[in-house]
């Protein structure tokens, strides 16, 4: 138990160090709810994030794919601070290291790379869930990184990056955008798709496996 709480405290301290607030200002926080999912236990041992998130500043995360690094800038001051807090926690605990992105789509409706599931598409999360953070006005242009889910309030570790555009309902919490490495996603798409999804021939597994070798805070 001491080890688990120690990891949780370190995760929060890391978040605070990544975007310090002025000493004279109070730290802006919002409460978050991370609910255990006993029927869907953690695919890898992680500690739930503490139940509050910073709402000021940004934090960069770099996913080192086998196609090259992709850096995303997560916006704590945006609409989804709890989702950002969650991703920072999972990255800090190395949940995404040595994982595979099981879905790639490139249709007229949806052009995304979906990652964050350890076992297969939509299977293998962190052992907890948290609510959506959406206003209903979200859009998903090229470079957007957002939470994936399996229905309302089922956010965990799954996320997607838009490589073209996504004409989808505003049901997915937007965390930020890619600031470096879109060419790596373009190469993934150029290598093709194995159609394994009922949504059509341009939705399925990447023809060449896409793997996250390591995810880390910063560049």
Confirm whether 214 is domain-assigned.
yes
Q: Identify the pLDDT of residue 11.
A: 46
- Residue 187, Ramachandran bin (φ over 0: left; ψ between -120 and 50: alpha; else beta): alpha
Write the CB contacts of 2 (distance below 8 Å, at least 6 apart in sequence).
none
Host domain of residue 193: 29-218
Q: How confident is the model at residue 2 (pLDDT cuts 50, 70, 90)?
A: very low
* 109 in a structural domain: yes
- 183 in a structural domain: yes
17, part of any domain: no
Which of the four pLDDT bands, split at 50, 70 and 90, describes residue 25? low
Give Cα 205 to chain centroid, integer Å.
19
Please indicate, yes or no, if residue 86 is contained in any of the structural domains: yes
pLDDT at 101 over 60: yes
3-state secondary structure of 189: helix
State the chain's mean pLDDT as an integer: 89
Among the residue ranges 16-20, 78-82, 207-211, the one predicted with the least confidence is 16-20
pLDDT for the residue numbered 157: 98
Residue 12 included in any domain = no
Percent of the residues in the chain that have a pLDDT greater than 90, as a whole number = 81
Model confidence at 82, pLDDT cuts 50, 70, 90, reads very high
- Cβ contacts of 147 within 8 Å, gap of 6 or more: 80, 83, 132, 155, 158, 159, 172, 173, 175
Query: DSSP code of 141?
Result: B
23 belongs to a structural domain: no
| Total count of domains within the chain | 1
How far is 188 from 111, CA to CA, in rounded Å?
A: 12
Q: Is residue 9 in a domain?
A: no
pLDDT at 134 over 80: yes
Q: Is the pLDDT of residue 193 over 50?
A: yes
CA distance 94 to 109: 32
pLDDT tens digits, 36-71: 999 999 999 999 999 999 999 999 999 999 999 999
CATH classification of the domain holding 69: 2.40.100.10
């Amino acid at each position: 138990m001491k080890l688990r709480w120690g990891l949780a405290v370190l995760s929060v301290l890391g978040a605070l160090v990544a975007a310090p607030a002025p000493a004279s200002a109070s730290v802006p926080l919002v409460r978050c709810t991370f609910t255990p999912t006993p029927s869907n236990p953690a695919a890898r041992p992680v500690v739930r994030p503490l139940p509050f998130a910073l709402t000021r500043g940004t934090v960069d995360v770099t996913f080192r794919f086998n196609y090259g690094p992709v850096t995303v800038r997560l916006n704590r001051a945006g609409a989804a601070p709890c989702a950002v807090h969650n991703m920072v926690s999972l990255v800090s605990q190395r949940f995404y290291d040595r994982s595979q992105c099981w879905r790639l789509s490139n249709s007229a409706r949806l052009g995304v790379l979906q990652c964050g599931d350890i076992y297969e598409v939509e299977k293998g999360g962190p052992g907890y869930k948290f609510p959506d953070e959406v206003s209903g006005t979200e859009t998903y242009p090229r470079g957007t990184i957002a939470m994936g889910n399996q229905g309302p309030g089922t956010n965990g570790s799954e996320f997607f990056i838009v490589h073209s555009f996504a004409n989808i309902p505003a049901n997915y919490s937007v965390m930020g955008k890619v600031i470096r490495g879109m060419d790596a996603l373009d190469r993934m798409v150029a290598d093709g798709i194995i159609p394994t999804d009922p949504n059509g021939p341009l939705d399925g597994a990447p023809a060449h496996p896409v793997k996250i070798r390591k995810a880390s805070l910063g560049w």
